[in-house]
Amino acid sequence: MAKKIGVYVCECGTNIADNVDIDRVIETVSPLRDVELVEKYRLLCSEDGKEFLKQSIQEHGLTHLVVAACSPKQHELTFMNICEAAGLNPYLFQMINIREQCAWVTLDKEEATGKAIRQIKAAIARVRYHNPLEKKEMDVCPDVLVVGGGIAGIKASQLLASPDRKVYLAEKTSYLGGKVKGFDKLFTNMESGSALIEQELKKLQGNENIEVLTDTEVEQILGFFGNFEARVIKKAENEELNLSVGAVVLATGFDLLDPAGLSQYGYGELDDVCTSMEFEAMNIPGGATGGKVLLKNGKPPKSVAIIHCVGREEKGYCSRVCCLYSFKFARMLKSQLPEVKVSHFYSDLCIPGKSYQKFYEETKGLGIEFVRAGKTKVAQNGKGMAVKYETERGQEGESATDMVILVSAMEPSSDTNKLAQLLGIPLDDEGFLAREHQLLAPVDSSVSGVFVVGCAQGPQNISESIVQSEAAAGKILSSLVPGRKLELEVRTSEISETFCSGCKTCISVCPYSAITFDEARGIAVVNEALCHGCGACAAACPSGAASLKGFTFTQIYEEIATLVR
Amino acid sequence: MQEEFTPRIVGFLCNWCSYAGADLAGATKQKVPASLSVIKVMCSGRVEPVLIATAYFRGADGVLVAGCHPGDCHYREGNYYARRRFALLEKTIETLGLEPERLMLAWVSASEGQRFSEVTDQFAGRIKQMGPSPLKKALL
Amino acid sequence: MKNNEHSTPVLVIGAGIAGIEASLLLANSGRKVYLVEKASYFGGNVIKFEEVFPNMECATCMIAPKQQELLQNENIELLTLSQVQAVQGSAGDFTVKVKKKARYVDLENCIGCSACFEPCPVEIDNEFEQGFSKRKAIYIPCAGALPNVPAIDTENCLRFKGEDCQLCQEACMFEAIDYTQQDEELELKVGAILVATGFKSLDLSKTNRYGYRKFSNVYSDIEIERICASNGPTQGQIVLRDGETPKSVAIIHCVGREEKGYCSSVCCMSSIKLAHFLKKKLPEVKITQFYSDLCIPGRTYQRFYEEVRESGVDFIRARVNEVAEQGKELAIKYKTEDSKENTLNVDMLILAPALEPEADSDKLAEMLSIPQGDGGFFTEEKPDLDSSVGTLKDGIFVAGCIQGPKDIPDTVAQAEAAVGRILSLSR
């Protein structure tokens, strides 16, 4: 079919007209092959400009459109919409910037005109090789798999579940509530953790849209955003379940660094040196000590030392919540044993936020001692146990104590690694599930449709974990709408079956893991649902089999060939 | 009489950072050499060495590839690929004795309008001084 | 994405990073969004920074694609120069009165060519550039600010002060300048409200703290951010007031912490970021940071701190008692924890002040009947025990620094969480 390329040059008032000899542009470009017309207009983006363009396209039966005007970042979308309104495929269009990148930056009018002509010629050469492209949509499953039944997982499930969206809540142990269930008190109002969990679980009960799967582990997750297939095993029954979901939320929580590996603290060797979790367990009313803080010898301690930042140097990060829960421990101790002497050994207090300094000061006001000491160790001498410390200035000291609580670094829970591998999610340098973009996508993982929330992605407190689970819910509710198809990127990559040699180079460069290998045919295949259209594969393919729609080799070649002439 | 040499420079600019930086140079009325012609790509990672070589061998006096600063790539790692490929291409061009100084890789962010102007001005100046591409004789 | 007729619109107050993120998510789900912003541009505080921690990403590059998307999204109505006046009703059915100040420049007709700036005879200190450069009475705050359409500052414009000046209108090719525009009173019916009005820095000028606004080369961190910015008043050149390059810099953390009674969460990191940037631009510069407790809780924050420390930046745990001028230098008198006193002389002093809720927050809190707690920040529904985005008023949510000082990741997470709450309500 004969091509009829329409070229329109916008004067942009005087912005372009003053610095580019548009009449000469028209004169020079009109005789080019396939060019049906070259016209100028005062302001193409104005209401009458747009109307003029639409009419003109229809009147002349144009097959392709070139617009030379401001930056495509301003109005490419505007003119694409005009194409559609005029019945022309919006991808048979190329926009050229002769304002920001020509008229406004070139002193000499001759030179600016020459540059404009060159760029327009290149656009015409390129647009001849444009192909019509269609919008793509995909059916999605709105259901969600939440992995981890702690507070974050519970909250995410509550917010997501609805009559048209089922939530599967998979938990590897036999109970829901995670770590919070085991905290007798929570900072800052010292309310009960188990009560909080009970309250939240009540909201889950009777909710037909949430299927709770305890004693369940995730075996495999295949697929992509909108279309995941997850296989889980209910351990007790040895029953396999296949779940079709559209999104996955990972809320697998944390563990604390085992201080046994740090010999200076005497954990496991000396009596009455315990971890934070062990101290928490001691305070649970139904626990082994009936909720009482007791030494190994059955008596209550007269003095307790709380050592902050255990393992911080080894791990290389601050665990954010420990200073605060250490203050909580101090209050719990004082509340149970008013006469007990409590001493904190710390290097920096990390208490960010509007209310935490007050919490600290009130704690200090209870007669709690705070010793700033970078180096600490726990030793046993004839008289008993003592914390030996050295301040930043090099001063040494010793503080006798009956009991030591080691507040150690937060780590990702033991299953995190396995899950990360299952899903192809990278771990960050600290071992936590990595976020897609630390700042702008704090709960997205790099795998589209898989969200990482709570302590699985880094140390945080309860409120922050809940915010993240709600954030994941927000993203899912916004993009996976029941009954609505997912709109896909139009200018994606495609791989020619004929030319693909199966070298898999494209697969190794794709930043989005959007290319898979079809073993049967021995070729690479692009998943259009995941492709972002960057072109890394097209550039990497040694066979020329991979090409990026809208930025094919031929299209760019035509631009180059014209520009260097 | 020697004709004044007007260089022909082809620039591949990535849509997200360098193209936006070039736009900002325009919005703030900086000067950008008229000898530079722009080809917009989505990512500097799209710019395979063959495209750069094509521009060079077809008569460009200079070829510029501009992308986002390392770490800022809109597509995560495209600019890292661009960097590696460019380094290899430079080496190859050098081995062939073909003036690798005519090729340039630059990182320009969306807020660096002034820098875009400086980088392109410097590059054009360099090319002008070097004179026409040695490959042009082969094309005539 | 077409408007979902069954759901009510949402009002988002504040078009900073939180407001932008929330608006985009809501709009993409099919909801109509009214995004109300009091300034003539949007992007909040983030667009003032050249780089953001911990990866030193270019802030404007990071946020520009989102801003573009927002401007082109049919479901989002961005109302700049607008402020909420009154709120009535309840969750699902709020009536909000918004005053939209006239811009006097038509958003459709203006193409952002800036031809109107040159003829304007009025020159004033540019507040966005912290007074380091001037602007006209018809202006945009900085290159790249969006929308790329100027506004007329009626307080300083000669015409609006009674003189017969129409130089800007005469210079405009597109009939975009319209002096007859009027302020508008809008009445919006919305189902939910998200408050994302952000923060400002503690004003140090009133007390001349540490010589601020008294001695030449004492700066607040936000002033230095503009000096570092490549689209700023010095195009990123680090210079003192007399144009000289500083050879030694001191940064004081926690300015105002004692009187405010809380840690502002981000200033240690942003101070370390500034040190990193300065060292990059001026490799020979000597930098010393004075702090009380180092608050660096994020995953990679400690690593970044160690890198900066290893690059030769000194960190001294001390209390700064006094700053005096000594010729061209500043003498910083400080006391370390072992009570030893010392003095350090530097060319440039940077102060990192506490973060406070954005101006006019008190009025907004009253309008919405939301209690303000510690520091004047908006109180969340169940502090520490539940999400911090819910307030005590159904249907009204908060995100970002208006709820408490925090970094960008936590701000964006809150914005997304608020969307989660809003979208799950409408069933």
Query: For A466, which of C108, C386, C418 is closest by C-beta distance?
Result: C386
B27 in contact with C at a CB cutoff of 8 Å? yes
Q: Which residues of C touch A395 (CB under 8 A)?
A: 338
Q: Please state which CATH number belongs to domain B9-134.
A: 3.40.50
State residue C426's pLDDT score.
63
Instruction: Using alpha carbons, select from C363, C355, C356 the residue that is nearest to residue C83.
Output: C363
Architecture of A144-253+413-479 per CATH? 3-Layer(bba) Sandwich (3.50)
**Of the candidates C323, C353, C383, which is a domain's last residue?**
C353
User: What CATH number does the domain containing C217 carry?
Assistant: 3.50.50.60
And the tokens for A420? Answer: 């990360």
Architecture of A256-411 per CATH? 3-Layer(bba) Sandwich (3.50)
* Residue A96 DSSP SS3: strand
Architecture of A5-133 per CATH? 3-Layer(aba) Sandwich (3.40)
CA distance C156 to C154: 5
What is the residue-averaged pLDDT of chain A? 95
| Beta bridge pairs of residue A375 | A390
Instruction: Using alpha carbons, select from B112, B107, B96, B102 the residue that is nearest to residue B133.
Output: B102
CA distance C417 to C399: 8
**Of the candidates C324, C353, C382, which is a domain's last residue?**
C353
Instruction: Using alpha carbons, select from C289, C332, C343, C292 the residue that is nearest to residue C314.
Output: C289
CA distance B6 to C132: 40
**Do B23 and B29 meet the contact criterion of CB atoms below 8 Å apart?**
no
pLDDT in tens, A381-413: 888 999 999 998 889 999 999 999 999 999 999
Q: Please state which CATH number belongs to domain A489-549.
A: 3.30.70.20
pLDDT exceeds cutoff 90 at A443: yes
A199 in contact with C at a CB cutoff of 8 Å? no
To the nearest whole angstrom, how far is the Cα of B70 from the nearest Cα of chain A? 14
CA torsion angle C58 C60 C65 C69 (round to 10): 160
Instruction: Using alpha carbons, select from A437, A254, B80 the residue that is nearest to residue C54.
Output: A437
Rg of chain A (C-alpha set): 33
Q: How far is CA C21 from the centre of its chain?
A: 15
Residues within 8 A of C (CB atoms), A 32-71 only: 43, 45-46, 70
And the tokens for C75? Answer: 């479901």
Number of Cβ within a 10 Å radius of residue A295: 14
Assign residue C363 a region: left if phi > 0, alpha if psi is -120 to 50, beta otherwise?
alpha
Q: What are the two backbone dihedrals, phi and then psi, of residue A269, each rounded to the nearest 5 degrees?
A: -110, -50
**B17·C148 Cβ contact <8 A:** no
H, E, C per residue of C112-171:
CCCCCCCCCCCCEECCCCCCCCEECCEECCCCCCECCCCEECCCCCCHHHCCCCCHHHHH
- For chain A, give the percent of residues with pLDDT over 70: 100
**Do B107 and B44 meet the contact criterion of CB atoms below 8 Å apart?**
no
**Rounded mean pLDDT of A139-155?**
97
Where is A68: in which H helix or E strand?
A: strand A64-69
Residues within 8 A of B (CB atoms), C 233-262 only: 235
CA distance C242 to A340: 60
Number of Cβ within a 10 Å radius of residue B122: 13
C-alpha distances in Å from residue A226, one per residue of A145, A146, A434, A481, A484: 12, 15, 21, 10, 11
Query: For A358, which of C55, C261, C295 is closest by C-beta distance?
Result: C261
**Of the candidates C326, C353, C380, which is a domain's last residue?**
C353
Domain shared by C391 and C418, yes or no: yes
Going from N- to C-terminal start, the domains of chain A cover 5-133, 144-253+413-479, 256-411, 489-549
Going from N- to C-terminal start, the domains of chain B cover 9-134
C316 in contact with A at a CB cutoff of 8 Å? no
pLDDT exceeds cutoff 80 at A505: yes
To the nearest whole angstrom, how far is the Cα of A145 from the nearest Cα of chain B? 27
To the nearest whole angstrom, how far is the Cα of A534 from the nearest Cα of chain B? 6
**Do C289 and C346 meet the contact criterion of CB atoms below 8 Å apart?**
no
Domain shared by C396 and C345, yes or no: no
ipTM of this model?
A: 0.96
B105 in contact with A at a CB cutoff of 8 Å? no
Lowest-confidence range among A60-64, B54-58, B80-84, B136-140?
A: B136-140
What amino acid occupies position C160? Answer: F
Same fold, A5-133 and A489-549: no
Q: What are the two backbone dihedrals, phi and then psi, of residue C301, each rounded to the nearest 5 degrees?
A: -65, -40
Domain shared by C191 and C292, yes or no: no
State residue C415's pLDDT score.
98
Q: Which residues of B touch A71 (CB under 8 A)?
A: 19, 23, 26
Query: For C338, which of A393, A439, A474 is closest by C-beta distance?
Result: A393
Cβ pairs bridging B and C (under 8 Å)? 54
Number of Cβ within a 10 Å radius of residue C239: 14
A428 in contact with C at a CB cutoff of 8 Å? yes
State residue A422's pLDDT score.
86
**B115·C112 Cβ contact <8 A:** no
State residue C7's pLDDT score.
79
Give the number of domains in chain C. 2
B72 in contact with C at a CB cutoff of 8 Å? yes
**Do C347 and C330 meet the contact criterion of CB atoms below 8 Å apart?**
yes
Domain shared by C44 and C193, yes or no: yes
| Beta bridge pairs of residue B14 | B41
Number of Cβ within a 10 Å radius of residue C130: 19
Domain shared by C77 and C215, yes or no: no
**Do C148 and C114 meet the contact criterion of CB atoms below 8 Å apart?**
no
Instruction: Using alpha carbons, select from A553, A550, A503, A556 the residue that is nearest to residue A531.
Output: A550
Asked if the structure places residue C162 within a domain, the reply is no
**A477·C419 Cβ contact <8 A:** yes
Asked if the structure places residue C194 within a domain, the reply is yes
B8 in contact with A at a CB cutoff of 8 Å? yes
User: Pairing relation of β-strands C248-255 and C355-357?
Assistant: unpaired
**A317·C300 Cβ contact <8 A:** yes
**Rounded mean pLDDT of A430-434?**
92
| Beta bridge pairs of residue A398 | A388
Domain shared by C236 and C308, yes or no: yes
Best residue of A75, A104, A439, A485 to probe chain C, by most C CBs closer than 10 Å: A439
Q: What are the two backbone dihedrals, phi and then psi, of residue C334, each rounded to the nearest 5 degrees?
A: -135, 160
Domain shared by C276 and C420, yes or no: no
CA distance A151 to C183: 48
Asked if the structure places residue C111 within a domain, the reply is no
Comparison of pLDDT for B1 and A188, the residue scoring more: A188
Contacting residues for C240 by C-beta, under 8 A, at least 6 apart: C216, C217, C246, C347, C348
pLDDT in tens, A258-295: 999 999 999 999 999 999 999 999 999 988 899 999 99
pLDDT exceeds cutoff 50 at B128: yes
And the tokens for A391? Answer: 């301040």
Task: Give just the sign of the alpha carbon dihedral A325, A328, A333, A336.
Answer: negative
Q: Which residues of B touch C60 (CB under 8 A)?
A: 109-111
A473 in contact with C at a CB cutoff of 8 Å? yes
Contacting residues for A311 by C-beta, under 8 A, at least 6 apart: A257, A259, A262, A408, A409
Asked if the structure places residue C347 within a domain, the reply is yes
Number of Cβ within a 10 Å radius of residue A556: 27
To the nearest whole angstrom, how far is the Cα of A98 from the nearest Cα of chain C? 14
**B37·A119 Cβ contact <8 A:** yes
User: Chains with 3 or more CB pairs closer than 8 angstroms to B?
Assistant: A, C
C295 in contact with A at a CB cutoff of 8 Å? yes
C373 in contact with A at a CB cutoff of 8 Å? yes
Positions of chain C with pLDDT under 70: 1-6, 426-427
Best residue of A506, A510, A563, A565 to probe chain B, by most B CBs closer than 10 Å: A563
**Do A116 and B47 meet the contact criterion of CB atoms below 8 Å apart?**
no
**C143·B28 Cβ contact <8 A:** yes
Cβ pairs bridging A and B (under 8 Å)? 124
C2 in contact with A at a CB cutoff of 8 Å? no
pLDDT in tens, A336-349: 999 999 999 999 99
Asked if the structure places residue C170 within a domain, the reply is no
Number of Cβ within a 10 Å radius of residue B6: 13
pLDDT in tens, C32-77: 999 999 999 999 999 999 999 988 988 988 898 999 999 999 999 9
Tell me the pTM: 0.93
**B26·A540 Cβ contact <8 A:** no
**Do C376 and C362 meet the contact criterion of CB atoms below 8 Å apart?**
yes
Domain shared by C216 and C292, yes or no: yes
Domain shared by C227 and C315, yes or no: yes
CA distance C96 to C186: 8
Residues within 8 A of C (CB atoms), A 282-341 only: 316-320
Nearest CA in chain B to A436: B76
Domain shared by C306 and C413, yes or no: no
And the tokens for A223? Answer: 């697929």
Q: What is the DSSP letter of A21?
A: -
Contacting residues for A289 by C-beta, under 8 A, at least 6 apart: A282
* Residue A478 DSSP SS3: helix
Best residue of C2, C387, C388 to probe chain A, by most A CBs closer than 10 Å: C387
CA distance C117 to C150: 9
**Do C146 and C159 meet the contact criterion of CB atoms below 8 Å apart?**
no
Q: Which residues of B touch A563 (CB under 8 A)?
A: 8, 10, 37, 39, 55, 60
What amino acid occupies position B25? Answer: A
The parent domain of residue C85 ranges over 10-101+183-199+357-425
Number of Cβ within a 10 Å radius of residue A508: 11
C315 in contact with A at a CB cutoff of 8 Å? no
Token pair 């002093």: residue: C349
**Do A541 and A506 meet the contact criterion of CB atoms below 8 Å apart?**
yes
pLDDT exceeds cutoff 50 at A481: yes
Task: Give just the sign of the alpha carbon dihedral A223, A225, A227, A230.
Answer: positive
Rg of chain B (C-alpha set): 15
C-alpha distances in Å from residue A168, one per residue of A146, A413, A480, A544: 6, 21, 16, 44
**Rounded mean pLDDT of A216-242?**
95
State residue C6's pLDDT score.
55
Q: Which residues of B touch C140 (CB under 8 A)?
A: none
Instruction: Using alpha carbons, select from A362, A347, A318 the residue that is nearest to residue A190.
Output: A362
To the nearest whole angstrom, how far is the Cα of A33 from the nearest Cα of chain C? 33
State residue B72's pLDDT score.
86
pLDDT exceeds cutoff 80 at A202: yes
State residue A210's pLDDT score.
97
Asked if the structure places residue C210 within a domain, the reply is yes
10 Å CB burial of residue C114 (0-12, 13-18, 19+) is buried
CA distance A144 to A481: 12
State residue B3's pLDDT score.
63
**Rounded mean pLDDT of A232-256?**
96
Best residue of C12, C111, C254, C259 to probe chain A, by most A CBs closer than 10 Å: C111
CA distance A346 to A241: 48
Contacting residues for A106 by C-beta, under 8 A, at least 6 apart: A19, A112, A115, B31, B32, B34
Q: Which residues of A touch B72 (CB under 8 A)?
A: none
Interhelix angle C17-28/A462-479, rounded to 10 degrees, is 40
Strands (E), B5-109: 9-14, 36-41, 62-67, 103-107
Interhelix angle A47-60/A72-85, rounded to 10 degrees, is 50
